[in-house]
Structure 1
Amino acid sequence: MINENDLLLLSLLRQGVPFVNRPFDAIGEQMGLDGADVILQIERMRKEGYLSAIRPIWDHRFFGYQGAWAAMKFSEQSLEQKLEIIGQHPGVIYMAQRDHEVNGWFYITAPGGHDLEAHVRILEKKTEAEKTLFLPIQRILKGAGEMRVFAGGVPEQVNQTAGSIKRTGETKLTLQEIRLIRLLQEDFLLTDEPFRRMAETLAIPESAMLHLLQGLFQKGYLKRIGISGGSKPDSQQNRFLVVWQIPEEKINFCAERFADFPSVISAGLRPAAPEFPYTVYTTVESKELETLELLILKIADKIGHWPNRVILTVREFRKTAIRYFPRELDAWWARWKTLADPAFI
């Protein structure tokens, strides 16, 4: 059972770990505890499921990253092997088998300078996929962009079409800052002096390390290091993908009606394909499939009874957070870019 002291710790960690030599001592001072007790409390709450991992909370708009869904058709027998090949791409952060003719779905990310479709077409050739759907977001109709959702935390809208926001020259990252960003994406150390340990890895003084952290914060890339989740929920809702075939002239009308349904977590416009004419993708929360079907009928009563389909997730093979500046991505591209159509290079 969570107690008042646990709630206080959650509140302090949401505010962020202080950028000081002994951050858990600083948190402990506000709780009447020493740093070692704070660390023990964090470890206990994580085991009990009341506390998410301590990690950097980024402002993802600044990184200029892009992401897109893609789906490929494989035989049932080869699906797992083919997804293993897809998973070798450093930017693939989600993979699943879905109950659809095109059964291998994945979410792929890359820096703004890359052509995501080129990466997908390379994977298409490597896996010898029978059919491929490339499904970048064209417009967010409600809720969160996936780039923020996959990064974890409270969803917020991200412009995945533009890929980045304009910023002045002073906000460009240095090579040392990129090294630090890579390091911050590792597990945050639950030790008395975590920043000193990071400084040792970077082979710089701790004071320089803390200065780099402050720089990432001031430039806007780093919001804080802490948690974004809350206490353990009382009930578990399932999330379902529901796709709709809605005429272009009705999109704005439907987007306004989606706002009336809290269970519609997100909605986005994506390209249609001859064999897959659905353009509006919604993520809908429901405890079970039976209640979902009733909810879809209620939504249809408001937006119109357009053709729709629930695409169930059969099993997930990967679900991880976005990793910025992975060294492996440049090596992957250098090795496989010859498979890309020259138009993409």
Structure 2
Amino acid sequence: MRDTIAVSPDGRLLQLLQGGFPLVRQPYEELGRQLGLSGSAVIARIEKLKEDGMVRQIGPVIDGRRLGYQSTLLGMQIAPEQLALAERIIIEHRGISHAYEREHAFNIWVTLVAPPGVSIETEVARLAAATGATATVSLPALKVFKLKVHFGPDDDDVTADSHAGEAPPARVALSVIDRRIINELQRDLPLSPAPFDDMSKRLGMDGDTFLAICEGLIQSGVIRRYGASINHRRAGYSANAMVCWRVAPERVDAAGAELAAHASVSHCYERQTSALWRHNLFAMIHGVARQDCVAIAKAATTANELNDGAVLFSTREIKKTRIKYEVSE
């Protein structure tokens, strides 16, 4: 059992917050029903988890590609004397959701999105110029094998959402009301008994209709899931590494599927390469300690007969948030 800030009884609550959050009029009462608690007790526990830094926010995970947004993983070489400036720019940039300093010549890695009508290449160039990056590699996803692990404070509190080598999805046609709900829904869910009612009232809608449309947006893939964002380090996973390999195209699917099946792998992609970065298969590996990540990477390398791998440990989290996707009505 790991020594973590959250205690074991909160493990089930964390799992429900991440992967089973109920889209109902009184969600905390429903969570309490599943946990044998009152709704007020669930709210109090979530308040404590937020105070402790375990829960960052509760809200929708939007698939921006279905809204016409483009995204890329961007690695940058930034000199030590430029890091403070680069960090400020990254934190303030509305199109960056994740940013880490990693142990590599390409020392800053960010997830960057560009809205419809704006070239992702243009955004990459602007960010590179603003931060003083001396070199960049832009590596958009070609296939998705895994997108998320749900972390809990107990050793067995890890579940996953896997994908069978899916290509990036197409843009979805949205109604005016769909757009209004997407814009309204992207806020940290209040810890009040009927938090969705205030949202529906602001839109002049019945609460049940509001939630039914939310469910429809999940079915269409616009919302990948609704739930909490968890600080994995607070959950006991203090080490994480981005591991990359050069894999022949005909072997990518098999290797990606094998990596995605591993409980400690949170994300797995085939990515476009560049002249400065020839690795095409990426996995994010989380562990209690560095040696756990190294052991998993070595086992995956051996099992799939991979070679030319690179392990990039994160040394610092600069930013982790959910993008606010603005949808014109």
- 2:3 maps to what in 1? none
- 2:129 maps to what in 1? 125
- 1:129 Cα deviation from its structure 2 partner: 2.3
- 1:94 Cα deviation from its structure 2 partner: 1.2
- 1:74 Cα deviation from its structure 2 partner: 1.7
| Contact preservation (8 Å) 1:69, 1:134 | yes
Q: Compare the two structures and name the one with the higher strand fraction.
A: 2
- 1:131 Cα deviation from its structure 2 partner: 0.9
- 1:110 Cα deviation from its structure 2 partner: 3.2
| Contact preservation (8 Å) 1:65, 1:163 | no
Matches within 5 A, 1:214-293: 214-219=212-217, 220=219, 221=222, 235-236=236-237, 238-252=239-253, 254-255=255-256, 257-258=258-259, 261-293=262-294
SS class of match (1:68): strand
Q: Kindly provide the CA deviation profile for residues 224-263 of structure 1, in whole angstroms up to 9, marking residues without a partner as x.
A: 865588xx99853632111223344543454455467544
1:68 aligns with 2:72: yes
- Bigger radius of gyration among the two: 1
Residue 42 and residue 247 in structure 1: after superposition, are their counterparts in 2 closer, same or farther (change >3 A)?
Answer: closer
Rounded to whole Å, the distance in 2 between the matches of 1:74 and 1:96 is 12
| Contact preservation (8 Å) 1:73, 1:130 | yes
Rounded to whole Å, the distance in 2 between the matches of 1:269 and 1:133 is 15
- 2:85 maps to what in 1? 81
Q: Kindly provide the CA deviation profile for residues 296-325 of structure 1, in whole angstroms up to 9, marking residues without a partner as x.
A: 333333333512221121211101123221
- Larger mean Cα displacement after TM superposition, 254-263 or 316-325: 254-263
- 2:105 maps to what in 1? 101
SS class of match (2:147): coil
1:173 aligns with 2:175: yes
| Contact preservation (8 Å) 2:104, 2:312 | yes
Matched letter for residue 307 of structure 1:
D
Matched letter for residue 74 of structure 1:
I
Matches within 5 A, 1:1-345: 14=20, 16-19=22-25, 36=40, 39-40=43-44, 42-44=46-48, 53-56=57-60, 62-111=66-115, 113-140=117-144, 142-144=145-147, 154-157=160-163, 162-164=168-170, 172-174=174-176, 176-199=177-200, 202=202, 204-205=203-204, 207-208=205-206, 210-219=208-217, 220=219, 221=222, 235-236=236-237, 238-252=239-253, 254-255=255-256, 257-258=258-259, 261-304=262-305, 306-325=307-326
| Contact preservation (8 Å) 2:237, 2:288 | yes
Rounded to whole Å, the distance in 2 between the matches of 1:302 and 1:34 is 47
Q: Compare the two structures and name the one with the higher helix fraction.
A: 1
Residue 37 and residue 66 in structure 1: after superposition, are their counterparts in 2 closer, same or farther (change >3 A)?
Answer: same
Rounded to whole Å, the distance in 2 between the matches of 1:121 and 1:135 is 14
Instruction: Show structure 2 runs of 5+ residues with no match.
Output: 1-6, 152-158
Residue 227 and residue 302 in structure 1: after superposition, are their counterparts in 2 closer, same or farther (change >3 A)?
Answer: closer
Matched letter for residue 161 of structure 2:
P
Aligned length: 309
- 1:134 Cα deviation from its structure 2 partner: 0.6
- TM-score with structure 2 setting the length: 0.72
- 1:342 maps to what in 2? none
Residue 87 and residue 36 in structure 1: after superposition, are their counterparts in 2 closer, same or farther (change >3 A)?
Answer: closer
Matched letter for residue 16 of structure 1:
P
**How much identity, in percent, do the aligned residues show?**
22
- 1:178 Cα deviation from its structure 2 partner: 2.9
- 1:71 Cα deviation from its structure 2 partner: 1.4
- Larger mean Cα displacement after TM superposition, 284-293 or 236-245: 284-293
| Contact preservation (8 Å) 2:97, 2:111 | yes
Rounded to whole Å, the distance in 1 between the matches of 2:288 and 2:30 is 41
- 1:46 Cα deviation from its structure 2 partner: 5.2
| Contact preservation (8 Å) 2:74, 2:112 | yes
- 1:179 Cα deviation from its structure 2 partner: 3.6
| Contact preservation (8 Å) 1:217, 1:224 | no
- TM-score with structure 1 setting the length: 0.69
